[in-house]
């Protein structure tokens, strides 16, 4: 059996693996796709100490770092279930079963997509999901934020301080964000709020986004907005379906963790976007991966 089995090969899982391997304990990583969301990222400008890089480049560096240690990397393998016990079991969809004294869950999350024409085509070319990551790329430009919940309204407030103009589109007849956020948003001079607005498509010139279209659900009229960017903020879904009924999850499906990354099951730790820790970023995922690894090591030396 492993001492530490990490499920997930994004920044959190990779950082955790390096930290446990450096403690000399037997470490394995199971990942559906090594690199995780970073593989889908074009420009990265907020990975501190690296001024500018690209997702696949950062993933190659992560992989090189992981492979320089004695870590079993089981890529293209999906975990289907966790069975807690004296020895934890991870069942893979292939039918194989892996055993380990401890488990670190780092299965990340995915942005909910709108599923409208143009969204996939212009991803990273004007279609964005993370205002902290991509906001500064739209300095002085016109952008839309789709989604009127807390994350959409927070994004619109954040972006309004950087870009030229923000249009916020909400499908329902009113915003769902906290009142204090709605009040702040309404006070900003360069923001337009559209409710009852159904996003129909995102358009571009083949290279970059140049606009979007929505239907006003009260009149049925289709409108066009000329703009350079669209931030989609309709939810971040943690990859925890396979954990239902085991570790405690928040109402959003995130794994509840303490400051050491410990979950509700002793010996099961978690880190990164899959947890309740706020502000999901590469650098925070790595930091939390390191913390969960040290928490796991602490657990091992006491058992």
In the complex, which residues of this chain contact ligand FAD (CB under 6 A)? 7-13, 30-34, 36-38, 40-41, 44, 46, 78-79, 106-109, 111, 129-130, 133, 239, 242, 272-274, 280-283, 285
- Nearer CB in complex with ligand FAD: 182/246: 246
- Nearer CB in complex with ligand FAD: 16/197: 16
Residue 204 among known ligand-binding residues: no
Helices 11-21 + 282-301 axis angle, to 10: 40
| Vertex 25 angle, CA 23 and 29, to 5° | 105
- Output the smallest distance, CB 106 to ligand FAD, in A: 5
Residue 147 among known ligand-binding residues: yes
- Output the smallest distance, CB 256 to ligand FAD, in A: 15
- Output the smallest distance, CB 205 to ligand FAD, in A: 21
- Output the smallest distance, CB 18 to ligand FAD, in A: 13
φ, ψ of residue 86 in degrees (nearest 5): -55, -45
Residue 144 among known ligand-binding residues: yes
- Output the smallest distance, CB 200 to ligand FAD, in A: 22
- The strand pairing partners of 92, in sequence order, are 79
Centre a 10 Å sphere on the Cβ of residue 7 and count the other Cβ atoms it contains. Answer: 29
Residue 60 among known ligand-binding residues: no
Residue 5 among known ligand-binding residues: yes
- Nearer CB in complex with ligand FAD: 194/204: 204
What are the DSSP calls for 145-162, one per residue?
EE--SHHHHHHHHHHHTT
| CA distance linking residue 82 with residue 291, whole number of Å | 21
Residue 103 among known ligand-binding residues: no
- The strand pairing partners of 91, in sequence order, are 81, 97
Helices 55-67 + 11-21 axis angle, to 10: 20
> Known binding site for NAD(+): residues?
142-156
> Known binding site: residues?
3-18, 142-156, 263-273
């Amino acid at each position: 059996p492993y001492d530490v089995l990490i499920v997930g090969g994004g920044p959190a899982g990779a950082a955790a693996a390096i930290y446990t391997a450096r403690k000399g304990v037997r470490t394995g990583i199971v990942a559906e796709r090594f690199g995780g969301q970073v593989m889908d990222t074009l420009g990265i400008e907020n990975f501190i100490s690296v001024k500018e890089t690209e997702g696949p480049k950062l993933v190659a560096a992560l992989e090189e770092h992981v492979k320089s240690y004695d870590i079993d990397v089981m890529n293209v393998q999906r975990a289907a279930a966790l069975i807690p016990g004296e020895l934890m079991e991870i069942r893979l969809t292939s039918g194989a079963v892996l055993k380990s004294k401890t488990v670190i869950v780092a299965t990340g999350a995915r942005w909910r997509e709108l599923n409208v024409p143009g969204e996939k085509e212009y991803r990273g070319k004007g279609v964005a999901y993370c205002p902290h990551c991509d906001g500064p790329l739209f300095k002085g430009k016109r952008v839309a934020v789709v989604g009127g919940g807390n994350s959409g309204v927070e994004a619109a407030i954040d972006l309004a301080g950087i870009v030229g103009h923000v249009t916020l589109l909400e499908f329902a007849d009113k915003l769902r964000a906290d009142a204090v956020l709605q009040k702040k948003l309404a006070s900003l001079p360069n923001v337009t709020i559209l409710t009852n607005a159904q996003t129909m498509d995102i358009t571009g010139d083949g290279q970059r986004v140049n606009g979007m279209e929505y239907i006003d659900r009260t009149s049925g009229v289709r409108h066009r907005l000329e703009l350079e960017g669209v931030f989609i903020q309709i939810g971040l879904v943690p990859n925890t379906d396979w954990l239902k009924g085991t570790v405690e999850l928040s109402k959003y499906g995130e794994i509840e963790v303490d400051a050491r990354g410990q979950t509700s099951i002793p010996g099961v730790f978690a880190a990164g976007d899959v947890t309740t820790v706020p502000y999901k970023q590469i650098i925070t995922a790595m930091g939390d991966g390191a913390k969960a690894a040290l928490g796991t090591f602490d657990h091992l030396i006491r058992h």
